[in-house]
Amino acid sequence: MSNSSENEKTNLQESETDNLPLSPAVPFKEAFRFWLKLGFISFGGPAGQISLMHRELVEKRKWIDEERFLHALNFCMLLPGPEAQQLATYIGWLLHRTLGGIVAGVFFVLPSVFFLLTLSYIYAAYGNVKWVAGVLVGFKPVVVAIVVEAVVKIGKRAIKRNAHLVIAVLSFFAIYFFHVPFPLIVLAAALTGLAGAKFFPDLFSTKQENNRQQGTDDVQTSIKRVFKIILVFIVLWLLPFALLVYFLGSSNLHSQLYLFFSKAAFVTFGGAYAVLAYVNQAAVNSYGWITKTQAVDGLALAETTPGPLIMVLQFIGFMAVWNNTQGVNQTAGAVLGGLITTFTTFLPSFFFIFVGAPYIEALRGKQSLNSALSGITAAVVGVILNLALVFGLTVIFPNGFSINFDWFALSLSIAAFVALVRFKIDVLIVVLVGGLLGLIKTLIVT
């Protein structure tokens, strides 16, 4: 009887400690210093940030082995939201449980919050200043090249069968010509992947050679712990929203931003560019919060700061309120708008990791899930192609589509694309060189 009780106690302790697969040999203070440093040096977008973490954590520090790193990365690629920030959160959780995950995830984002708020204010308040405008003239064509490169990279990974190519093309037509909401495209793509794998397996199958993942048989979790995290998440989400409604009203723009970006965080699979495509469609076309030019400028600014590329959403929230003050102080209201978008964008990421990781690990070997996700990633290619086209037309044809276009913007976009794809030059260097060329052009011409 006592042995049975002791075994139950042991099982409960294992579940409450998140079933840690790693040795707790890494001192928490040392990990804390690394996550703080990472937030200041994580340039290069998701691909660059993931490569940086691999170099630092697997090759240099050996805090986690190659297999476990890739295993964690695969988990994060299945989730909506910013995969690089989720990967940092997940590895922090592996090393030091919930506290480690919170520290890793927060510090991955925190430095970029302050950098981008500063740049957003400079842009909004002094964007018409000659040198600021000149730098943006060079930034924007580079952004077009970066988004096109993202289409190419994600397309190579996502288009595994001709059926996936069809899904990508149909998704592009749906969002570009018919303005179908992004969540509906994701749902349709997932259902198409599921149905295709069942009825036309030769056309849709994505079965991998090694579907069985290490550790799926010994996944344990505590239902009590899951409900506790859900409760904490609900409180953390509801409390700020209740304060906004109480002080500003439910119809105020800040409250609308809170609800919109909360929804976006749950439906935007495919990483930062997919999120931006969805938000751009709504913020520019549906709500009119910002202009197409401002959307491009925001991505350019986000590319120059460390941290997740999805931080461009903070710029969108900032500019949405700056453009529509609704009786509040313009600067204070815009800062609050930016912080709201950041909070609602990243809070679900912690929720997904702390609650879902063990279950996602157990489900990764299921072919039905792989088929649904392959449909979604194929659709994301079409959605990001839409984003590239919208941005490209805005930058290269600033006065509307005609035979008169911006030769400088077109030339710089092509050069930046070649630099990124052919010569593998770091994205930050390409962006900064583009800004310098834009500044020189502006000073010489005017």
Distance CA 435, CA 139 (A): 5
Q: What confidence tens digit (pLDDT) does each residue in 244-275 have? A: 999 998 889 999 999 999 998 987 776 677 77
Give burial (CB, 10 Å; 0-12/13-18/19+) of 271: buried
Distance CA 357, CA 360 (A): 5
Instruction: Answer for the pair 375, 189: CB distance below 8 angstroms, yes or no.
Output: yes
For residue 438, the tally of other CB atoms under 10 A from its CB is 25
Running DSSP on this structure, what letter comes out for residue 305? S
Q: What confidence tens digit (pLDDT) does each residue in 59-103 have? A: 889 898 876 787 677 678 768 888 889 999 999 988 888 899 999
Distance CA 53, CA 83 (A): 12
Q: For residue 44, what pLDDT band results from cuts at 50, 70 and 90?
A: low
Is the pLDDT score of 139 beyond 70?
A: yes
State both tokens at 385. Answer: 């192609």
Instruction: Answer for the pair 269, 377: CB distance below 8 angstroms, yes or no.
Output: yes
**Residue for token digits 């697969």?**
21
Spans of all domains in the chain: 22-107, 112-445
Distance CA 141, CA 407 (A): 11
- Cβ neighbours for 313, distance < 8 A, ≥ 6 positions apart: 261, 264, 275, 276, 279, 341, 342, 345
**Of 280, 395, 352, 443, nearest in space to 72 by CA:** 352
For residue 408, the tally of other CB atoms under 10 A from its CB is 17
List Cα–Cα distances, 170 to 41, 118, 165, 173, 274, in angstroms. 38, 40, 9, 5, 16
The predicted pLDDT at position 14 comes to 39
Sign of CA dihedral 426, 431, 435, 440: positive
Distance CA 313, CA 338 (A): 8
Q: Could you please report the per-residue DSSP string of 320-381?
A: HHHH--TTS-HHHHHHHHHHHHHHHHHHHHHHIIIIIHHHHHHHTT-HHHHHHHHHHHHHHH
Instruction: Specify the pTM.
Output: 0.74
Q: What confidence tens digit (pLDDT) does each residue in 299-332 have? A: 888 877 888 888 999 999 999 999 998 778 999 9
